[in-house]
Structure 1
Amino acid sequence: MSFSLAVSIAVFTLIAIREWLPSFLKIWHVMTAGAFVLIATGTITPKTALDAIDWNVMLYLFSVFSIGRALYENGISHRIAGWMVGWRTPGVSLVAFMMLFALVAAILTNDAAAIIGTPIALMLAHQTGADQRTFLIALCVAVTIGSMTTPIGNPQNLLIAASGEVPAPMVTFVHWLIVPTLICLGGSALWLSKRMVVTTPEGGSTDMTDTTEGTQWPVLLAIAVLVVLVTVESILAATGSDFGYPLGVAAAIACLPVYLFDGARMRTFVRLDWPTLVFFVSMFIVTGALLDSGSLQSILGEEREHMNEPLVTAGISFFGSQIFSNVPLVDMYLKLLPSFEVPNLMMLAGVSTLAGNVFIISAASNVIVLQMADRMGATEVTFTQFMKDVLPIGIVSTGVTIGWILLLEAHLSGKTF
């Protein structure tokens, strides 16, 4: 076993058992410590570590994190929560909340939706008398499933689309994945609404202050610009245009109004979720060292030749995401693939995304929601509690998606079962 593999296993094991560790130890602490150990021991050089970081993804995340935080600082998140609680019935509020943030995830990425939705989830739980954990878990599930539909729905889809191997990414993703997305989202909303416990939240005081110090139009303009730039980029890709731009750059341009015109820009910047950004940087370093060591290549052996088969991809994506989290899993998988076919890439996108609905560490958006909620003083969602509510969703939704992709592939190729 290589040292980088041992460190990776230690990191993800500590994250899995964090509920039994001291409360001051956060998920990003563990991941950052792993990256530091790998660099300090010379397992990965500083230059290789920097090269391992996907700066396009980091720029995109920084930008959408900025937009999400500005929505909260300007009181827009509070208005959304106030509108949704008007339904009065906690179960209906939960379903409406999940549908809305599944759509937000598809447009602005699951991580942005997680940031925007976390304070709203806590406000809805407080105002409806429902358990905070139910709304937080519902947010994790909704942004994961909703993000599966588009190439900009989550970082792993972004990596697949950025590979240049998916023709007309927006059209291709929607064509292959919209049906299982709708089925899985509806079933998940029904499951969680039935399990909802209406009670007085156990958590301490949460950061629910309605702040309106800034100006609202810059962040609304930022969202509009982001949607337009992402749509234009998708159209250019669909038409085979030679002109294009990285989505990280598009997001950075979109968030400029927040930092140029918003009166709360300094507070937005200071209160940005920096720990989660550090988590992502460290994660890229840890997985980069693992890939550079050749350990995975040795473990795969001759099976690497079968990585372009959808069923093999489904198995590796689902179980590998539980060990490495889905973003680094996809990053490594794309670098190891012997060839690229659309059905296999859609299987990689769909299953690696839905694999996030198993454990907390399975998806970075889960980490974002629960770390942000923890910083706001919410009731802790433990590893065990999360798994009990989410594991059935992960298994069923993954099965539905695998079946649909195989069926569609067979239909398009003229195969018969």
Structure 2
Amino acid sequence: MLAGALAVLVTGQISPDAAIKAINPGVITFLLSMFIIGAGFESSGLLKVSINWITNHARSGDQLLALIIVVMGFLSAILMNDTIAIIGGPLVLVLADRFNISKSGALLALCFAITTGSVFSPIGNPQNYLITTYVADMSPYLLFFSGLFIPTILSLGIVWIVLRPLFKSAGQIPSQHEIIEPTDNSSRKVIYFSIFLLFLGVGMKIVYGLTGIGLSIPFEWIAVSAAIPVILFTPDRMAILKKTDWCTLIFFAAMFVLMQSVYDTGLFLDIVHHEGEGDIIGILTAGILLSQVISNVPFVALFQPVLLSPGVSPSLVLALAAGSTIAGNLTILGAASNVIIIQQAEREGIHISMRFFCRYGIPVTLVQTGIYASFLMVFPM
């Protein structure tokens, strides 16, 4: 992505001034803050606490898979899927080892869970957050929750059904035994406070969206307020900054530049405008397929002129969010969170091939597409 951004700058397809203006500072600030919180969560020892909790509540492979899907799916809706990809990778690898199941299968469950779980939240993934910046006149939480929560629950159930065979060999761990003894980390209270601020800000946002009472705090301000304590008060702040996913931030900054250049040339605009005027199935299909080529966030960025047009249909917005998000279940290239998890696996010597991913991802995506399309057409917003 960076090479593409540099190429359009060098060839004069976009001016340096236009390139700087193309970068969305709110999105970059939001991502940076969430990555800092995620790195702090891992460094604080709360990862070990989470492993112990899941271990003590999973008595079978089916229960373990359900806990991974539910916990990671709903955490991604609150803390963003890329953040949970960073936190959850080491967690599920330990769980896979302790329960004697396929590590590739456990990581696949994490990929599908955080991708699917993030669909119904405006801060569940970068593309949803980007959509909310384009349709600011709509109440994002009310819109996403009312239109996408039920089909997302059903879609998480599909993940459980499809991946069950990979968890059949799970062995039982005695509930009274803690797999990993939690360490006494002084930064844990800071992380608790940071997460409290995050939930408080999101709660205020929801209340304002539903009732109009209180303050409508921008998402990036909420994330920054939660990240500041991590930077100021944790003793290992430098280690946390080193763990922050700077490469993904470079990816998004470069993506904004490259996609602005693509938009200026008119490439893809005929497809985007055609689908923007089309039906729910067409938008979902375009989101799933084109996100494999240019990734989901750039695809949503190209939809900006359609989303900013007067009287944009809420159903169109939700179809765009759903399609561009569940694209991450089709192939590894469909979501940045997949790439983060796959890179973690490679560092541990675990290889997840595209063939293995698609063997389970294709049926999951096909059924989920049917669920979201049916719900949005039967219950239009």
1:235 is displaced (CA, Å) by 2.3
Deviations 1:135-194 (A, max 9, x none): 111111101111111211111221222223553221221111111111110121121122
Name the CA distance, whole Å, in 2 between partners of 1:387 and 1:250. 36
Structure 1 residue 78 corresponds to structure 2 residue 35: no
2:293 matched residue in structure 1: 323
Structure 1 residue 182 corresponds to structure 2 residue 153: yes
Name the CA distance, whole Å, in 1 between partners of 2:157 and 2:281. 25
2:112 matched residue in structure 1: 141
1:291 is displaced (CA, Å) by 1.2
- Asked if the contact 2:275/2:282 (under 8 Å) is kept, the reply is no
Name the CA distance, whole Å, in 1 between partners of 2:301 and 2:364. 24
Q: Which amino acid aligns with 2:288?
A: F
Query: What is the alpha-carbon root mean square deviation over aligned residues?
Result: 2.5
1:226 is displaced (CA, Å) by 0.7
Q: Which amino acid aligns with 1:96?
A: L
2:305 matched residue in structure 1: 335
1:3 matched residue in structure 2: none
1:90 is displaced (CA, Å) by 3.6
- Asked if the contact 1:214/1:264 (under 8 Å) is kept, the reply is no
Structure 1 residue 259 corresponds to structure 2 residue 231: yes
- Asked if the contact 1:156/1:330 (under 8 Å) is kept, the reply is yes
Q: Percent identity over the alignment?
A: 31
Where in structure 2 are the equivalents of 1:89-104 lying within 5 Å? 89-104=60-75
1:95 is displaced (CA, Å) by 1.9
Name the CA distance, whole Å, in 1 between partners of 2:272 and 2:237. 51
1:281 to 238, 253, 268: 253
2:122 matched residue in structure 1: 151
2:174 matched residue in structure 1: none
1:272 is displaced (CA, Å) by 1.4
Name the CA distance, whole Å, in 2 between partners of 1:303 and 1:104. 35
Deviations 1:322-341 (A, max 9, x none): 22211111121122444411
- Asked if the contact 1:110/1:144 (under 8 Å) is kept, the reply is yes
Return closer, same or farther for 1:70/1:378 CA change in 2, 3 Å cut-off. farther
1:233 matched residue in structure 2: 205
Deviations 1:97-145 (A, max 9, x none): 1110111011112122222211111111121122211111111110111
Structure 1 residue 111 corresponds to structure 2 residue 92: no
Q: Structure 2: give runs of 5+ residues left out of the alignment.
A: 171-179
1:228 is displaced (CA, Å) by 0.9
Q: Which amino acid aligns with 2:323?
A: V
Name the CA distance, whole Å, in 2 between partners of 1:152 and 1:373. 26
Q: Which amino acid aligns with 1:347?
A: A
Return closer, same or farther for 1:131/1:302 CA change in 2, 3 Å cut-off. closer
Structure 1 residue 65 corresponds to structure 2 residue 32: no
Name the CA distance, whole Å, in 1 between partners of 2:20 and 2:187. 37
- Asked if the contact 2:82/2:125 (under 8 Å) is kept, the reply is yes
2:19 to 25, 37, 49: 49
- Asked if the contact 1:73/1:214 (under 8 Å) is kept, the reply is no
Name the CA distance, whole Å, in 2 between partners of 1:46 and 1:132. 45
SS at match of 2:328: coil
Q: Which amino acid aligns with 2:373?
A: I
- Asked if the contact 1:101/1:143 (under 8 Å) is kept, the reply is yes
Name the CA distance, whole Å, in 1 between partners of 2:181 and 2:352. 22
- Asked if the contact 2:81/2:125 (under 8 Å) is kept, the reply is yes
Name the CA distance, whole Å, in 2 between partners of 1:197 and 1:35. 46
SS at match of 2:283: helix
Name the CA distance, whole Å, in 2 between partners of 1:250 and 1:333. 26
Return closer, same or farther for 1:242/1:44 CA change in 2, 3 Å cut-off. farther
- Asked if the contact 2:85/2:111 (under 8 Å) is kept, the reply is yes
1:63 is displaced (CA, Å) by 1.0
1:121 to 84, 87, 92: 92
1:269 to 241, 246, 259: 241
1:360 to 308, 326, 332: 332
SS at match of 1:255: helix
Name the CA distance, whole Å, in 2 between partners of 1:166 and 1:110. 25
Name the CA distance, whole Å, in 2 between partners of 1:209 and 1:268. 22
2:284 matched residue in structure 1: 314
Query: What TM-score do the two structures reach when normalised by structure 2?
Result: 0.89
Name the CA distance, whole Å, in 1 between partners of 2:272 and 2:153. 37
Deviations 1:72-114 (A, max 9, x none): 1111112211221232534421221111011101111212222
Name the CA distance, whole Å, in 2 between partners of 1:304 and 1:128. 46
SS at match of 1:43: coil
1:348 to 312, 315, 320: 320
Q: Which amino acid aligns with 1:235?
A: V
1:241 is displaced (CA, Å) by 6.6
Q: Which amino acid aligns with 1:169?
A: P
